[in-house]
Amino acid sequence: MAAINTTTQIENNYDRFITELTALTRKYGVAIQSVGGVYLADERGEFDKVTYNADITSGDLYPNFPGN
């Protein structure tokens, strides 16, 4: 059974994600604008198999959650 993340763990993971996303933006010249489009995992490993559909012509980026 997966461990449940605490609010503090989720906040720390989010902060680390933003730090790495900032570095990726600077490295590749791609910035993401998202309003209300953030999903947070409640359990460790919950997003292990997530992939993304990205349509460069529309600028849309959608996560694929296997099994949903």
Residue appearing with tokens 């997966």: 2
Chain segment 7-34, per-residue pLDDT in tens? 999 999 999 999 999 999 999 999 999 9
Q: What is the pTM of this model?
A: 0.80
Partners of residue 29 on adjacent β-strands: none
Give Cα 21 to chain centroid, integer Å: 9
Query: 66, 52 in Cβ contact below 8 A?
Result: no
CA–CA gap between residue 18 and residue 3 (Å, rounded): 23
Chain segment 44-62, per-residue pLDDT in tens? 899 999 999 988 999 999 9
